[in-house]
Structures are given as structure tokens and as C-alpha cells.
Copies of this chain bind each other. A is one copy, B any other.
């Protein structure tokens, strides 16, 4: 979740973080492939050598940037809606609706970031696909908590497979990424999608 565990010197950790943030900015701006190490170090204001003191190669920093990005994205989308907060089906629907809205917001605010994480990153590496799949698994577990809590409180169906249901909810959530990839989404369209997607999602899990 945070620093590579054993970086006792805070100055080193700080510099490492600077580099990750610089790379984050550069990758979000130009994409991983198009970005050069030169861009990263210029953005961070350090030399090439320093970069290679902290990361073995360009590919290596990507892992750190991806963690950083995904963390960032998840926070943005989840906001205050923690699992277990919803006590009724209406509140559950409201949460899902909120997630969709915030995802639309991020897509509008930082389109390159989402593109980077969801479109470019999987294409870089077989290993990175696995890594992202892992992150998706984490996300799925998180979603599972929402579902589980709903089943316990009785407003979600008890006979569903919670894990797969979570994956379905995520799939519906992510469908707006594909939508946004087609171009800017007008406010009305956006609201139409938020509602229809929420309806669809709720129908799939509601008691």
C-alpha cells in the first residue's frame, strides 16, 4: 500500500517518490511508450544516473507508477462510500450511482490517466497484464465487501455468487470507460447511463 517496506532514509524515500510522481505525470501525459527516461528525469529535475540509482530500468518504475495510479483512481471513485455504509437497497443503489458519477468525473478530469491505466498498461507486458489482473482482483474483493454486506443485511439476494456478482458490477462500472473512450459524454447522456446502469446493476443483485 505504501513504501517498499525497507527505506529507512526518508530522503531516499522522498526522492524515490519524486521520481514516481514525475513518471506518473509523464506517463499520463505522453503514455509509457512515447515517454523517455529523459522526460522523466527532466520533469523530476535529476540526472539519468539518479534515475538508475532508484530503478533498474524504465519498465521497473512503471510498476510503482501503476500502483500509485490505481491507488489514486480507486480513492477518487470510492470517495466516502465505504463498504457497509449502505443499509437499504436504495442506499446501495445510491452508492453505485455515486461510483458511476465519480468515475465519469475522473474520466473527464484526467482522461489520460484512465487511458494509461486501462488502455495502455495492459498492452505493455504479459507481466503487467497479470499485475493489473491482480489489482483487479483486489478491486473485486473490495466490491465483494459491498455485496457481502448487502446480502447479510438482506437487501441483496442470498442465492447469488458474490464473487461473480462483484465482477459483474465492476464490468458495468468499467463500461463507462469504453463509453468515454468514444468521445466526450454529454451531461444528459451521462445521466441516462448512470440511471440505466444502476438499474441494470441493481436488478442483478437485488433480493
Contact = CB atoms under 8 A, between A and B. Distances in A.
Interface in A156-207: 160-161, 164-165, 167-168, 170-172, 174-175, 178-179, 181-183, 192-193, 196-197, 199-201, 203-205
A133 interface: yes
Majority SS at the chain A contact face: helix
Given A168-B172, A200-B168, A204-B203, A133 B193 contact: no
B164 A192 contact: yes
Interface residues on chain A, size class:
35 or more
Contacts of A204: 199-201, 203-204
B122 A181 contact: yes
A115 to B, nearest CB: 8
30 contacts: A119-B122, A120-B123, A121-B123, A122-B123, A129-B181, A130-B182, A130-B183, A132-B181, A133-B183, A134-B182, A136-B178, A136-B182, A160-B196, A161-B192, A161-B196, A164-B192, A165-B200, A167-B175, A167-B178, A167-B179, A168-B172, A168-B175, A168-B196, A171-B171, A171-B175, A199-B204, A200-B204, A200-B205, A201-B204, A203-B204
Going nearest first, the 5 A-B pairs with the smallest beta carbon separation are: A123-B123, A171-B175, A133-B182, A164-B196, A200-B204
Nearest to A116: B123
A160 B193 CA distance: 11
